[in-house]
């Protein structure tokens, strides 16, 4: 233990360092970057003390809430890593429909705690993802089509800045810092210790319609689904997935590659949920479908279980994202060719329509921006360390197939190690310039690491 720090302090070279280091990331693919010192904060009281220690030893600081960064942003070479994973508390006020939460609280836990109050929050699609890094990035979660990016529901953020001072930023207090705290993501230049959020009515009924077709049908399926989706209301989340068929789609072996299209309705009653999915009830391509299930009632737990099936813990992952103004009719056939050749059966491409809501006012006045009309996210997922190079190359080649159509990336899931411009391209030029100047203003001595680069 270091003076004034209640939590554990582990230095490189000490017994226990390797285990602590390896636990810092959810991804089994661990980048070989090693901080000199890892401080596992016992509570938010440890943060000013850790900052003082880092400054006294001239150590640049990296931060971790729960280590879900796909590209391993918390792990940097040298310096101090402050691990905030013990900060998981939350308080719900059902009367004012607000809550406060600490950064390592996981989405699934928060959503489950809100449900008995008839309330919810647009947490990420996978239950274990911590709200800290997610909210700082913008946060594209369940029902974002209706609720906007999760950061739109953040009212204030408590932070500790590079000088060790605790402050609260909001639209009224420190509005520049508040603007940055809603989108700067892994380049944020302070420690976020608590988020104050607005809650939403719990959609008491969730229903889902899914079709899956052979991957070779990508062009007609994309044409049908994008046309049908135009008639879906904002509270239906619609997405394509290009992947290997799961056993519930077909028992055939080898398992074929498929394009699936799912609409998930979040509504106030089962009847309303089914009505919302009406545009997907009939499909002119039905006789080609390998799988068709309409209006299936679900719970949030069902949604989280299904996403854990596609993104389970314990695998090696490289992930990237791309915003575009080009239609899915062009993007998906290019990506289907890649998925057909993926070296790993687990790899897939997700293409959510309107991942952050078509109502752009919901993304106003925050560093997060919707940078295109369409959005795709390829995931390379595999197990064998000997296949790291082949799978990373596949992911990069897949991105190259659509990069001519790129208008930007999403900072939460962009592969910042793919090229030095990934972080910059995750913002409009004006927002990037503003982020850089705020970093200089709030962290003039570069106490905190900025965006990871190759």
* Contacts to ligand FAD by CB under 6 A: 26, 62-70, 73-74, 84, 103, 124-126, 129-130, 132-134, 136-137, 139-141, 185-186, 188, 191-192, 311, 412-413
Nearest to ligand FAD of 125, 316 (CB atom): 125
Task: Tell me how far the alpha carbon of residue 32 is from its chain's centroid.
Answer: 23
Smallest distance, Å, CB 157 to ligand FAD?
9
Smallest distance, Å, CB 137 to ligand FAD?
5
Nearest to ligand FAD of 108, 125 (CB atom): 125
Nearest to ligand FAD of 74, 408 (CB atom): 74
Number of other residues whose CB lies within 10 A of the CB of residue 14: 12
In this structure, the chain runs to a length of: 454
Smallest distance, Å, CB 144 to ligand FAD?
8
Q: How far apart are CA 231 and CA 301, in angstroms?
A: 27
Smallest distance, Å, CB 357 to ligand FAD?
13
Q: Which residues contact 195 (CB under 8 A, 6 or more apart)?
A: 100, 101, 102, 103, 131, 132, 135, 154, 156, 157, 158
Nearest to ligand FAD of 114, 221 (CB atom): 114
Nearest to ligand FAD of 235, 317 (CB atom): 317
Smallest distance, Å, CB 138 to ligand FAD?
7
Collapsing DSSP to helix, strand or coil, 302 comes out as helix
Torsion of CA 362, 368, 373, 379, to 10 degrees: -130
Give the CA distances from residue 248 to residues 81, 134, 303, 380, in Å, rounded to whole numbers and listed in that order: 42, 31, 15, 22
First to last CA, the chain: 33
Residue number closest to ligand FAD, CB atom? 133
Query: DSSP class of residue 135?
Result: H
Whether the link from the prior residue into 254 is cis, omega within 30° of 0, is yes
Smallest distance, Å, CB 220 to ligand FAD?
28
**H or E element, residue 110:** helix 107-114
Nearest to ligand FAD of 328, 375 (CB atom): 375
Nearest to ligand FAD of 295, 307 (CB atom): 307
CB 163 within 8 A of CB 443: no
CB 153 within 8 A of CB 119: no
Smallest distance, Å, CB 271 to ligand FAD?
28
Q: How far apart are CA 62 and CA 75, in angstroms?
A: 7
Nearest to ligand FAD of 228, 357 (CB atom): 357
Q: How far apart are CA 392 and CA 346, in angstroms?
A: 13
Smallest distance, Å, CB 335 to ligand FAD?
19
CB 197 within 8 A of CB 283: no
Smallest distance, Å, CB 252 to ligand FAD?
28
Strand partners, 208: 264, 296
CB 42 within 8 A of CB 84: no
Nearest to ligand FAD of 188, 394 (CB atom): 188
Torsion of CA 154, 156, 157, 163, to 10 degrees: 150
Nearest to ligand FAD of 59, 191 (CB atom): 191
Nearest to ligand FAD of 269, 446 (CB atom): 446
DSSP secondary structure string, 208-248? Answer: EEEEEEEGGGHHHHHHHHHHHHTTS-TTEEEEEEEEEPPTT
Burial code (b: 16+ CB inside 10 Å, e: under 16) for 116-128 equals: eeebbbbbbbbbb
Smallest distance, Å, CB 303 to ligand FAD?
11
**H or E element, residue 145:** helix 144-147
Smallest distance, Å, CB 62 to ligand FAD?
6
């Amino acid at each position: 233990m270091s003076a004034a720090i209640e939590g554990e302090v582990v230095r490189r070279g000490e017994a226990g360092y390797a285990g602590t280091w390896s636990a810092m990331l959810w991804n089994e693919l661990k980048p070989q970057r090693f901080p000199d010192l890892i401080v596992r904060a016992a509570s938010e009281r440890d943060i000013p003390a850790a900052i003082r220690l880092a400054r006294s030893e001239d150590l640049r600081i990296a931060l971790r809430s729960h280590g879900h960064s796909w590209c391993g942003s918390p792990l940097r070479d040298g310096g101090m890593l402050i691990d905030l994973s013990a900060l998981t508390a939350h308080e719900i006020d059902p009367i004012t429909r607000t809550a406060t939460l600490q950064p390592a609280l996981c989405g699934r836990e928060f959503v489950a705690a809100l449900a008995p109050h008839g309330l919810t929050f647009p947490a990420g699609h996978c239950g274990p993802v911590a709200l800290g890094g997610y909210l700082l990035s913008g946060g594209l979660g369940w029902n974002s089509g209706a609720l906007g990016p999760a950061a739109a529901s953040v009212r204030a953020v408590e932070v500790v800045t590079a000088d060790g001072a605790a402050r609260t930023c909001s639209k009224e207090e420190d509005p520049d810092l508040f603007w940055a705290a809603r989108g700067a993501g892994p380049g944020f230049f302070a420690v976020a210790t608590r988020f104050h959020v607005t809650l939403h009515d719990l959609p008491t009924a969730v229903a889902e319609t899914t079709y899956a077709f052979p991957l070779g049908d990508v062009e007609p399926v994309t044409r049908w689904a994008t046309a049908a989706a135009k008639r879906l209301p904002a509270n239906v989340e619609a997405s394509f997935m290009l992947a290997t068929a799961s056993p519930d789609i077909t028992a055939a072996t080898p398992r074929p590659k498929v394009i699936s299209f799912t609409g998930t309705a979040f509504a106030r009653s089962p009847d309303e949920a089914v009505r919302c999915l009406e545009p997907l009830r009939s499909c002119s391509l039905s006789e080609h479908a390998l799988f068709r299930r309409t209006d299936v009632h679900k719970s949030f737990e069902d949604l989280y279980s299904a996403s854990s099936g596609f993104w389970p813990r314990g695998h090696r992952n490289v992930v990237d994202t791309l915003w575009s103004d080009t239609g899915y009719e062009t993007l998906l056939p290019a990506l289907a060719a890649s998925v057909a050749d993926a070296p790993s059966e687990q790899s897939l491409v997700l293409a959510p329509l309107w991942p952050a809501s078509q109502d752009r006012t919901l993304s106003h006045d925050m560093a997060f921006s919707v940078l295109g009309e369409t959005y795709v996210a390829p995931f390379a997922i595999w197990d064998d360390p000997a296949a790291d190079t082949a799978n990373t190359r596949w992911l990069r080649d897949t991105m190259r197939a659509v990069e001519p159509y790129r208008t930007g990336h999403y900072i939460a899931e962009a592969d910042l190690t793919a090229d030095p411009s990934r972080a910059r391209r995750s913002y409009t030029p004006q927002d990037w310039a503003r982020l850089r100047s705020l970093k200089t203003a709030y962290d003039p001595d570069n106490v905190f690491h900025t965006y990871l680069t190759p």
